[in-house]
Amino acid sequence: MKIKGAGLSQIKITGGFWKEYQELIFQEVIPYQWEILNDRIEGAEKSFTIYNFSVAAGRIQGPHKGFVFQDSDLYKWLEAVGNMLQIREDPEMEEAADWTIDLLEQTQEKDGYLNTYYQIKEPEKKWTNILECHELYCAGHLMEAAVAYFKGTGKRKILDIACRFADCIVEKFGKEEGKLHGYPGHQEIELGLQKLYDLTGNKVYQDLAEYFLEERGRNDFFEEEFKNRNCISHWTNAVEKEPNKVYNQFSYKEYNQFHLPVWEQTKAVGHAVRALYMYTAMAHLAEEKEDEDKLQVCRKLWENIVCRQMYINGSVGATVSGEAFTRDYDLPNDTNYSETCAALGLIFFSQELFQAEGKGCYGDIIEKSLYNTVLAALGRDGRHFFYTNPMEMNPYFAKVNPERYHLKPQRPKWHACACCPPNIARTIADLGKYIFGEDDSTVFVQIFAQSSGEFFRNGKSVKLDTKTEYPWDGKVCIQVLGDLETKIALRIPGWCRQWKAEINGKPLKDPEVLNGYLYLSYKGEKLQIELTLEMMPVLMQANPKVAYNLGKAAIMRGPLLYCIEEKDNGARLGELYIKDKAEILTENGEKEILLKVEAVRKTSSIQDGLYYEYCTTKQETWLTAIPYFSWGNRGEGEMLVWIKKE
């Protein structure tokens, strides 16, 4: 089964929840990030991105500044602009993007090479530290940006830049004699090359993506490269014992996912973003090749993540040490990393598997990660961003404990390592492809949003017009019009215990449900579908193997995870217990639905000394819970997802 996500020109988000977020991206986030990239926001971490390109292009003089992968921030911003321009016109941002693309063209070398770090700082060392220095990673993001911008504008300049760089890399890497028999330290280019192939049809790009995957873990390239640079690490600028910093107790081979050939891997290990970008590329290739054995490997990796290594908010990566997975069921709440880019990577991976198999479980994870991690990382003003997404927060300990310093009680204006903010922008701008999908016989409704989508087949078309207040309300109304006979598949979310459907005002009898989708036949007549998903607040527990959550519950309503904050419930949230058989009430907030939960507070006495005899008082109370994605928008304070259960 080959399903493709809908093209952005086919889809229009017309109102409701996601219209507000896309408008936030278009009106606030993209312009704000342009100012950031130019270092014009007072009090924010410096980006140095436009500065570095200006130096490399010879427009100004100076040293390279920032990280070795700084170029990628600009490429992701350009991709966000390209995605936006597929939906709407924005002459000001298009002009800024065109100016930037001219700068890229001026920076690019005659052989196609483009990387400001090496062009400015170490031109003699290009391609000598593939493991640590992100040359291929940055190139991959350039390719993705080029495809998006060409689709949005029809302008070839950035596409030609990306193809020249891709051709340069094709000449440098491969199985042939005289080429480097290596593969990326940080996976990403595999995705960019495949998108470039999909657009241009130039098979050498797909072949190189396949080579990078197939070669990984099959040779000693990184070790040989390490010896050739006299065992000096980029990150420490000193001689080291191994060809990368040692992260946590696991090997650098696991950290970079070359401990085994990729098709022999069955468990997610190492740096979470690298892993998920690689798994996404693997799934895309397996789908393209229609290779069931390789798809089965991808399924096993996905199941290992979502069944054993994923937080309830759809985030992954349990440890700050290497931004990495650890092992099954190790999901601490107060030190977890849960990088925003890793949640986005899980969305990308799940989308590829959905397109290969058409199963609703993948849409469930896309929805979970999208609502509960990606949106949590984005401030309501579009100008503040979380890099990490903890399950609990105590601002005091986050500031004084070095093991928790990665956790921020409020979203910063920017980050020195800023991979996440432009990643959010490009993905929400690209949301249409997650809302709908289609194959030769079926239109899939995957994410419920107030939207319209038109689909064409054999000279005929069908249009779906959706009205809904989801995720606050479970009613989804879809009007279908057109002359194309097709099946329509509506995802029945895994969280939904009861649902009903009406067709043209009459209850649907004997519904056809397969792989998590309700299938309906459309034969050209007017069709009105009303799907009602029951949205009752539910207390969730973790598998007892997740020892951190024993005796605790989390609250969900529909697709949304909830949390409690000090702002509503007072300090020392750890004193609160949800009552046995607690009543949970819904309450309308300013922009969201709040929950009121029956609880008790067991207050400990405060006495002199550090330790003393146990003594508490018990008082009945009500908790106020807010959507997790809203936390941290009202000033510093404690936050808690997993709450003790009486």
Please identify every residue annotated as catalytic.
Answer: 323, 419
**Farthest-apart Cα atoms in the chain, separation:** 81
CA distance 306 to 365: 8
Report the distance separating Cα 186 and Cα 133, nearest Å: 8
Tokens of 56: 């490399």
**Strand 506-507, strand 538-540: pairing:** unpaired
The C-alpha torsion from 386 through 389 and 391 to 397, rounded to 10°, is: -60
Calculate the alpha carbon distances from 266 to 277, 279, 295, 296, 301 in Å: 16, 11, 12, 10, 5
Question: 142 by DSSP, 3-state: which?
Answer: helix
Burial of 449 (0-12, 13-18, 19+ CB in 10 A): buried
CB 516 within 8 A of CB 359: yes
Q: Residue 175: how many CB atoms within 10 A of its CB?
A: 10
Q: Which residues pair with residue 180 across a beta bridge?
A: 173
Residue 109 DSSP label:
-
Cis peptide before 390 (omega within 30 of 0): no
Handedness of CA 195, 201, 205, 208 (dihedral sign): positive
Please choose, from the candidates 441, 454, 523, the residue with its C-alpha nearest in 3D space to the C-alpha of residue 2: 441
Tell me the three state secondary structure of residue 4: strand
Residue 233 is encoded by which pair of tokens?
């690490």
What residues pair up with 538 in beta bridges, in sequence order?
556
* DSSP label of 478: E
Provide the pairing of β-strand 442-445 with 486-491.
Answer: parallel
Dist CA 483 CA 524 (whole Å): 5
